Chains A and B, each alone.
Chain A
Amino acid sequence: MGSDEILEWEEEARRLRRERADWEFIEKLPPKLKAALKYYIETGDIYVASRIAGLTVGEFDELRVKARVPSVT
């Protein structure tokens, strides 16, 4: 497993999250939730994103689905 493959994996996942996200919905959210979703879109890290949002992981996942951001692994 080389670092190139991991970077390629992360870039593909990030691109899919950016492309599929409902940006109109995201931009209308309160700052905390918007920041958390943008963090998730860039990193795919649901645990830290949920902490930014002040939600549990399960609650943040509901927000992710509403914002049409796919999880990609």
Chain B
Amino acid sequence: MSRASREAIADTSFLVDWAKYSKRDVLLKLFEVVYVPESVLRELKLPPAIDWVADCLASDAFALFTETPELEEEARRLMAMSRGKPLKRIDYPEAVCLAAGLKYGYVVLTENGGAYFAPRVLGLSVTVWRAFEVIVEAWRRGLVESLAEELKRYEEETLHLFRRRDWDYAWGLTRS
């Protein structure tokens, strides 16, 4: 996890949850830049997500990512690959992020289950993080104090629940 790129690309499912988190700016300390595809930006209309993303774009912590025809073609190829696999379908916004992650080495930030499992099921060489992995990384770098408290805070503030296996993994980390 710690060897990941210093650049990331975020999809809507990640941003709408993450923007509600009171320690959301910790993301800006983990990455030099977070790209936001135009197709993702079109899906954000309400605060806090749109306000936070606009602020981050203004401060250059985020950058707008414009899809090219080649990237869109790759995204549609990934969507087709996901069909017929034991995998939740990957929708276009997540597929764009995966395609960009593959092409440019960005860490893909998503809460889409299909995109999360895609590297393993489809054999893609791309790093995919959910809020869980972002918070774990922040804890490893000393940006948050208690991993368990932070995960709980995130659950409460965003109405986002982590899986039992993730909690077991987190408990294992804090005990070791």
Measured between beta carbons, the chain B residues less than 8 angstroms from A71 are 13, 17, 111, 158-161
Per-position contact with B for A48-59: 1 when CB-CB < 8 Å, else 0?
101000001111
Q: Is B127 an interface residue (CB 8 A)?
A: no
B1-35 CB contacts (< 8 Å) to partner A: 12-13, 16-17
Q: Is the CB of B42 within 8 A of A47?
A: no
A5-62 CB contacts (< 8 Å) to partner B: 6-7, 9-10, 12-13, 16, 20, 43-48, 50, 56-59, 61-62
- Given A6-B87, A6-B121, A59-B45, answer yes or no on A72-B93 (Cβ-Cβ < 8 Å): no
- Given A9-B163, A48-B91, A57-B43, answer yes or no on A3-B86 (Cβ-Cβ < 8 Å): yes
Q: Is the CB of A46 within 8 A of B88?
A: no
Determine the distance from Cα of A11 to Cα of B92 in the docked complex, in whole angstroms.
Answer: 24
Smallest CB gap from A56: residue in B: B43
Measured between beta carbons, the chain B residues less than 8 angstroms from A57 are 12-13, 16, 43-44, 93
Interface residues on A, range: 20 to 34
Q: Is B65 an interface residue (CB 8 A)?
A: no
Q: Is the CB of B121 within 8 A of A56?
A: no
- Given A13-B163, A56-B45, A59-B45, answer yes or no on A73-B116 (Cβ-Cβ < 8 Å): yes
- State how many residues of chain B have any CB contact under 8 Å with chain A: 37
Q: What distance in Å separates the Cβ of B57 from its nearest Cβ neighbour in chain A?
A: 15
Q: Is B175 an interface residue (CB 8 A)?
A: no
Q: What distance in Å separates the Cβ of B116 from its nearest Cβ neighbour in chain A?
A: 6
Q: Is the CB of A65 within 8 A of B159?
A: yes
Determine the distance from Cα of A9 to Cα of B89 in the docked complex, in whole angstroms.
Answer: 14
Measured between beta carbons, the chain B residues less than 8 angstroms from A73 are 111-113, 116, 130-132, 160, 162-163
Q: Give residues in A with beta carbon < 8 Å to B.
A: 1, 3, 6-7, 9-10, 12-13, 16, 20, 43-48, 50, 56-59, 61-62, 64-65, 68-73
A-B contacts besides A71-B158, A73-B130, 6 pairs, CB < 8 Å: A13-B113, A46-B16, A47-B93, A56-B44, A58-B49, A71-B159
Q: Which 10 A-B pairs have the closest CB atoms?
A: A3-B86, A1-B120, A57-B43, A47-B91, A61-B16, A57-B12, A70-B161, A73-B111, A58-B44, A71-B160
